[in-house]
């Protein structure tokens, strides 16, 4: 990815990955998490990019697009995965969409995340 994207545009972001939740005495308990820092390009999401989100999220003005060489995780009920969170500029975002561009021989991923609480 670094060879494809302008080095001046790179930011350091933190990926907060959660373990699947567990049930303790009938209560769902959020799984533990691990933080990992990576370099990525982060930009405000365009209208066209927001169309990849569910309809109820498309009108947000608090979305960012992340271009990275790391696949970010999106919630999946079948696999019990929990969405990754991104910490960027002291704000926390939840990942709602990830696209793998490797089929084009470009080893990177495009992800869209929305600021928590928006």
pLDDT in tens, 73-89: 999 888 888 999 999 99
Instruction: Say if CB 89 and CB 64 are below 8 A apart.
Output: no
DSSP letter at 5 equals S
Give the pLDDT of residue 115: 96
The per-type count for the chain, helices as H runs and strands as E runs, is 1, 8
Give the pLDDT of residue 118: 63
DSSP letter at 56 equals G
CA atoms within 13 A on the CB side of 116: 11
5 pLDDT above the threshold of 70: no
pLDDT in tens, 35-94: 999 999 999 999 999 999 989 999 898 999 999 989 999 998 888 889 999 999 999 999
CA-nearest of 102, 117, 118, 113 to 14 is: 113
Q: Which phi-psi region, left, alpha or beta, contains residue 90 (left: φ > 0; alpha: ψ -120 to 50)?
A: left
Instruction: Give the domains, in start order, of the chain with CATH numbers.
Output: 7-115 (2.40.10)
pLDDT in tens, 96-110: 999 988 777 667 899
């Amino acid at each position: 990815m670094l060879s494809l994207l302008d080095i001046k545009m790179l930011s350091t972001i933190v990926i907060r990955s959660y373990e699947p939740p567990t049930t303790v005495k009938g209560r769902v308990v959020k799984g533990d998490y691990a933080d990992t820092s990576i370099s990525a390009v982060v930009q405000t999401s365009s209208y066209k990019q927001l169309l990849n989100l569910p309809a109820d999220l498309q009108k947000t003005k608090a979305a960012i697009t992340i271009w990275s060489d790391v696949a970010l995780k999106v919630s999946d009920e079948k696999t019990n995965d929990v969405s990754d969170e991104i910490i960027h500029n002291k704000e926390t975002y939840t990942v709602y969409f990830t696209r793998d561009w490797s089929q084009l021989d470009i080893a990177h991923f495009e992800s869209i995340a929305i600021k928590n609480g928006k």
